């Protein structure tokens, strides 16, 4: 098998999410021009990736990038992708003798060839943000780290590699990407605003992530903070949109959050707070986004089709969330009735995902099945029956029906007649 090898595509994404990748750089895994058969080379490459922390499911078949069709690896151990010319060395990182990996910028561009629009945007926010998703399934759903790249660097790479597969789609996605997200939840909030209408977003591009706002000197005596950072900031509307999902925050943190909100308001900004509870159900999030749209000076679509798209986007963005604290066992009285039950933050049952599996919950999110439709409000998807809408008129009619007295029995009617006729007999 010809060396060197260039890891790419899905294998590269898993590498950039591996917790121990910094520990293997420069180690010799005996990958040399005489390494032998493709199977032997694959075993050594898997050893390196396993040491990085790449999960086993990502090691079955390794994605590699080849300059031309003639350089494809003819082995089931590898999946070859053709770059279409010499691979620029400035887009590669040397992992070990005989082994390279594409940089995050080129990784994002090539991801556009197999990822859908929203998934690609999530990856872009992750690479340009200060967190990475955990692909091992152990512990927290994400980890803090420094940003791998930036929107500006990816745009430069897309221009330099204009002929690469996925470059055009990546350029379009960059218009809706922002630097500085600190968690998947902040990314979800931003994408509910940035995503186009066809995907269920508000299609509003004038936002920044974690914008620093300094506290004026004359406010320092009444504020414990020197500066503020707005999760989502809309300069044109002077609006601050915050995500709050930590229902277990200690008193000190809650006090700090209250000081932040008070400071934003005193500085003249219009504030909106979106919580984990909003993201847990379609209707609360729909209402919250309508309020945000009004503050931003735009009109959110109200059609049933848009609301379905908005709900699909919500589900897409929260599918990887899970509660960070360990679940507590259910009380003894509940165990008898439901042996598999667990007690959540608000004693709510775990929700199910779009695909029917148990949805992992994040920072207090306990989304159960979407509630029953409410009069005059958004569309809900009834299981097996499609979307349903109940008008205010129908709601009042149902209330009137429930207020009517039950029909009298035959004996009651006979007694009533006798009581009415009795005076006439006298």
**Segment 168-223, tens digit of pLDDT:** 999 999 999 999 999 999 999 999 999 999 999 999 999 999 999 998 988 888 88
> pLDDT value at position 371?
40
Does pLDDT of 326 surpass 90?
Answer: no
Does pLDDT of 403 surpass 60?
Answer: no
Does pLDDT of 79 surpass 90?
Answer: yes
> pLDDT value at position 120?
98
Please count the other Cβ atoms lying within 10 Å of the Cβ belonging to residue 120: 23
> pLDDT value at position 247?
58
Does pLDDT of 129 surpass 70?
Answer: yes
Confidence class for position 136, pLDDT limits 50, 70, 90: confident
Nearest CA among 66, 46, 67 for reference residue 58: 46
Mean pLDDT value of segment 71-91: 91
> pLDDT value at position 397?
41
Confidence class for position 36, pLDDT limits 50, 70, 90: low
> pLDDT value at position 359?
34
Mean pLDDT value of segment 55-84: 92
Write out pLDDT tens, residues 37-63.
Answer: 888 889 999 999 999 999 999 999 999
Confidence class for position 140, pLDDT limits 50, 70, 90: confident
Does pLDDT of 251 surpass 60?
Answer: yes
Apex CA 133: angle with CA 49 and CA 110, to 5°?
70
> pLDDT value at position 398?
42
List the single range of 240-254, 337-351, 368-382, 403-417 with lowest mean pLDDT.
337-351
List the single range of 122-126, 290-294, 349-353 with lowest mean pLDDT.
349-353
Does pLDDT of 370 surpass 50?
Answer: no
> pLDDT value at position 174?
98
List the single range of 21-35, 118-132, 353-367, 406-420 with lowest mean pLDDT.
353-367
Mean pLDDT value of segment 67-96: 91
* Per-chain mean pLDDT for the chain: 79
pTM of the model: 0.75
Mean pLDDT value of segment 362-373: 40
Most confident of 248-252, 273-277, 327-331: 273-277
> pLDDT value at position 410?
58
């Amino acid at each position: 098998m010809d060396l060197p090898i260039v890891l790419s595509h899905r294998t590269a994404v898993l590498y950039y999410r591996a917790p121990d990748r910094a520990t293997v750089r420069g180690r010799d895994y005996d990958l040399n021009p005489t390494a032998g058969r493709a199977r032997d080379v694959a075993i050594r490459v898997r050893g390196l990736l396993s040491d990085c922390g790449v999960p086993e499911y990502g090691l079955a078949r390794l994605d590699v990038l080849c300059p031309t069709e003639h350089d494809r690896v003819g082995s089931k151990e590898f999946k070859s992708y053709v770059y279409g010319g010499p691979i620029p060395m400035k887009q590669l990182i040397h992992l070990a003798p005989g082994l390279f990996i594409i940089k995050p910028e080129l990784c994002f561009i090539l991801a556009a060839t197999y990822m859908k629009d929203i998934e690609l945007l999530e990856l872009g926010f992750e690479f340009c943000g200060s967190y990475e998703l955990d692909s091992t399934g152990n512990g927290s759903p994400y980890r803090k780290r420094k940003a791998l790249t930036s929107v500006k660097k990816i745009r430069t790479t897309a221009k330099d590699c204009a002929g690469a597969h996925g470059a055009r789609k990546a350029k379009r996605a960059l218009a809706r990407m922002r630097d500085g997200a600190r968690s998947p939840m902040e990314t979800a909030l931003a994408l509910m605003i940035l995503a186009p209408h066809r995907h269920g977003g508000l299609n509003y591009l004038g936002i920044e992530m974690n914008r620093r706002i300094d506290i004026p000197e004359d406010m320092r005596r009444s504020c414990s903070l020197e500066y503020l950072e707005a999760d989502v900031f809309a300069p044109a509307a002077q609006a601050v949109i915050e995500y709050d999902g930590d229902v277990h925050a200690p008193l000190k943190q809650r006090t700090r959050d209250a000081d932040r909100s008070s400071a934003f308001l005193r500085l003249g900004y219009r504030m909106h707070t979106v919580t984990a509870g909003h993201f847990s159900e379609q209707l609360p999030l729909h209402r919250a986004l309508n309020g945000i749209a009004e503050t931003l000076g735009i009109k959110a679509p109200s059609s049933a089709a848009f609301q379905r798209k908005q709900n699909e986007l919500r589900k897409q963005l929260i599918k990887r969330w899970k509660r960070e604290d360990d679940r507590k066992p259910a009380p003894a009285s509940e165990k008898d009735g439901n042996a598999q039950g667990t007690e959540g933050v608000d004693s709510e049952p775990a929700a199910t995902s779009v695909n029917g599996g148990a949805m992992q919950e994040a920072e207090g999110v306990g989304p159960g099945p979407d509630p029953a439709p409410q009069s005059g409000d958004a569309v809900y998807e009834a299981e097996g029956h499609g979307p349903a809408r109940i008008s205010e008129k129908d709601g009042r009619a149902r209330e009137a029906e429930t207020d009517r007295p039950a029909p009298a029995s035959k004996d009651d009617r006979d007694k009533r007649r006798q009581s009415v006729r009795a005076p006439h007999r006298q």
